[in-house]
A and B are shown apart, each in its own frame.
Chain A
Amino acid sequence: MHDAIKFIQGNEVCVEAALYAGINFFAGYPITPSTEIAEQMAVRLPETGGKFIQMEDEISSMCAIIGASLTGHKTMTATSGPGFSLMQEALGYAIMAEIPCVIVNVMRGGPSTGLPTHVGQGDVCQARYGTHGDHAIVTLTASNHHDIFRMTIEAFNIAETYRTPVILLLDEVTGHLREKIEIPEPGKIPLTKRLRTAVKSGVDYHPYLPREDGRLPMSDFGDIHRYNVTGLYHDMWGFPTDKPQIVYGLIRHLVDKIENNTPKITRFRKYYTKDAETLFISYGASARSTLHLVENRRRRGENVGLLELQSLWPFPADIVREACQHVPLVIVVEMNMGQITKEVKLAVDDPKKVFLANRIDGVLITPTDIRNTLRVIQGKGV
């Protein structure tokens, strides 16, 4: 078998990748610019014996994928800003109850109904902080079809590895863009299977007792072990408790299992960074424009480089600090008012050298926009 070459939308790439990763349950509610994911899932999932359901809203979509994950399935939902807001309570539930699942947010302009058909990257902080209470979260992103395919699969793999929901932040531009994609033949990209318990029937199974490596083997609903799942603080059986030591232990576990594995979860690409005197940091559609500019400037002999982030949360502070260390000028390119810029400023030794190049008007930031910002910073005038 050969890798199949297709010419499709980014949203469809996400669907193909989810199928490659072994998805067998999708619940969703239509919303621009993510709708093609639901539509394509409705076509493709039953072909593989999987299930697609259009729920009554995004709240129930998120709840349904959690329920379906507990019966042992790989599950996903897809939405955009307003729907992502509705999912926040259940997202917190998936964090607390440690349920693997994938949530795709194809970002549009916000707040509120905002700009349904235009691009934005304003949900980066919502992905991190949108649900209430202290918690850690994994968020991946991508700027091109090849990476949408890889990051979607990574999202499923990370969800299974850490028993956690994973957010995949795409945007209107990458989601709707049509370009070529090679779908790798099955087996080429490694997939993480669900870790299931080896505890035998009749022996006490502790669904919420982490192993030494921090992982928690699961047991499917309908299988031999019957246990309780709750969004309340719970003990190793999953039963509600408010005992301070258990509460403390659980919140630490929930945060540490992600934060302590930041190096393993982090994904990025570096372009011409070795001798860069100006370093751009970007992600998603913004990174496409930035890369275009960087390649252009390189041809003219300017020492510019790009660090493209493919994982935004947990924030890869070490990678960013290291990449910025010997660079006098750092420019973060994003289509919001500096949500990742703030993180970069916190990560580097000298925050004063970090600037933002952005567009917040629903239009894709262009290489010229970025170049103009660069010239202003350099005092050259536009």
Chain B
Amino acid sequence: MALKDYIRQRFFPHIWCPGCGHGIILNGLLRAVDTMGLDKKNIVMVSGIGCSARISGYVDFHSLHTLHGRALAFATGVKLSKPELNVIVPMGDGDALAIGGNHFIHAARRNIEMTAIVMNNRVYGMTGGQFSPLSGYGTMATTVPYGNIDHDFDVVDLATSAGATFVARTSTYHVHELAELITKAINHKGFSVLEVLTQCPTYFGRRNRIGDASEMMEVYKKNTVRIGSKKKQENPDLLERGIFVQKELPEYCREYDNIISKARQK
């Protein structure tokens, strides 16, 4: 199918600023879905609130645009009540890990099959550039006018320790890797987390004097390496990309089917 066939053209133009990385992630997602040959009828996209969350409205799947931070909770209801559906949850960094942090770790712990794509622009885009739990020490944002003294989470470490059975990271610069990792995440039989470093030129880029969208993406190219690369040993500050965790553990919905069998044998 042509990519435009996965889009609700009626609802365009989109709300994103020129250069926003969220559109690149949408593109990667649609290419992944297309390669996998998934039936649109079997995909539910559940999102919270934020610039990132608007992605769900633009795609021609079943789409549930919910409350700030709560997407995974809604998604859990969708998935457990109809496990044959593919549930994809695009999330903002604030959405996923500030207000929604508790749902994030619990969904990971439960190992319920769905894909959380954390669209990490290190800022609250939708509300105009406040710091997020992923902004990091020393960054600038409207609510830390003298510099940020909050430390950030590492999404990969957090998801891993919370029990996610698939954990990966990439960036909007690495578009082929992006589509490939989304495919693997969706195919994974368990809770999968993909962190995508993405640019908000309007707020994060400008306030932190990183430059425009292309300059921000240039940073992703320079500051990241494939997992296991020698460069990381030479420069520990580089951020690794790729798959960190990929393991099989009992999946929640399948486990619940066993509960039903047990209850019925009683």
Contacts and interface: CB of A to CB of B under 8 A. Distances in A.
Contacts of B264: 46-47, 49
The 6 A-B residue pairs with the shortest CB-CB distance in the complex, in nearest-first order = A67-B77, A64-B77, A60-B73, A63-B73, A46-B263, A68-B81
Given A56-B103, A220-B82, 9 more contacts: A25-B77, A51-B80, A55-B73, A63-B66, A63-B67, A64-B77, A222-B62, A228-B56, A240-B65
Given A90-B67, A237-B10, A46 B74 contact: no
A63 B107 CA distance: 13
Interface stretch (A70-78, A115-123, A187-195): A70-78
A227 interface: yes
B80 A53 contact: yes
A65 interface: yes
Given A46-B260, A64-B73, A226 B266 contact: no
A231 B66 contact: yes
Given A47-B264, A63-B74, A224-B41, A71 B67 contact: no
Interface residues of B, number: 42
B40 A226 contact: yes
Contacts of B80: 25, 51, 53, 64, 68
A222 B43 CA distance: 7
A59 interface: yes
Contacts of A63: 66-67, 70, 73-74, 76-77
Given A57-B102, A67-B74, A221-B82, A229 B65 contact: yes
**Is the contact region of chain A dominated by helix, strand, or loop, or is it mixed?**
mixed
A220 B62 CA distance: 9
A221 B76 contact: no
Interface of A: 24-25, 27, 43, 46-47, 49, 51, 53, 55-57, 59-61, 63-73, 75, 89-90, 93, 220-224, 226-232, 237, 239-240
A93 B57 CA distance: 16
Interface string B72-89: 111111111110110000
B146 interface: no
11 contacts: A46-B256, A61-B73, A63-B77, A64-B76, A66-B66, A68-B78, A69-B77, A220-B82, A226-B61, A228-B8, A228-B64
B149 interface: no
B57 A239 contact: yes
B106 interface: yes
Given A67-B46, A221-B44, A228 B81 contact: no
B57 A60 contact: no
A203 to B, nearest CB: 15
A329 B114 CA distance: 61
B148 to A, nearest CB: 27
A70 B77 CA distance: 9
Nearest to A27: B77
A226 B63 contact: yes
B42 to A, nearest CB: 7
Which one of B61, B80, B84 has the highest number of Cβ atoms from chain A below 10 Å of its Cβ?
A: B80
Nearest to B11: A239
Contacts of A24: 81
Nearest to A50: B260
B262 A46 contact: yes
B259 interface: yes
Nearest to B63: A228
Contacts of A53: 76, 80
Nearest to A57: B102
B34 interface: no
A240 B66 contact: no
Contact of B76 (A57, A67, A73): A67
A221 B44 CA distance: 7
Contacts of B61: 226
B149 to A, nearest CB: 28
Nearest to B57: A228
A66 B81 contact: no
A220 B72 CA distance: 19
B212 interface: no
A221 B74 contact: no
B100 to A, nearest CB: 10
A46 B253 CA distance: 12
A135 to B, nearest CB: 16
Interface in B18-61: 40-42, 44, 46, 56-57, 60-61
A70 B78 CA distance: 7
Contacts of A75: 77, 81
Contacts of A47: 263-264, 266
A227 B260 contact: no
Contacts of A90: 67, 70
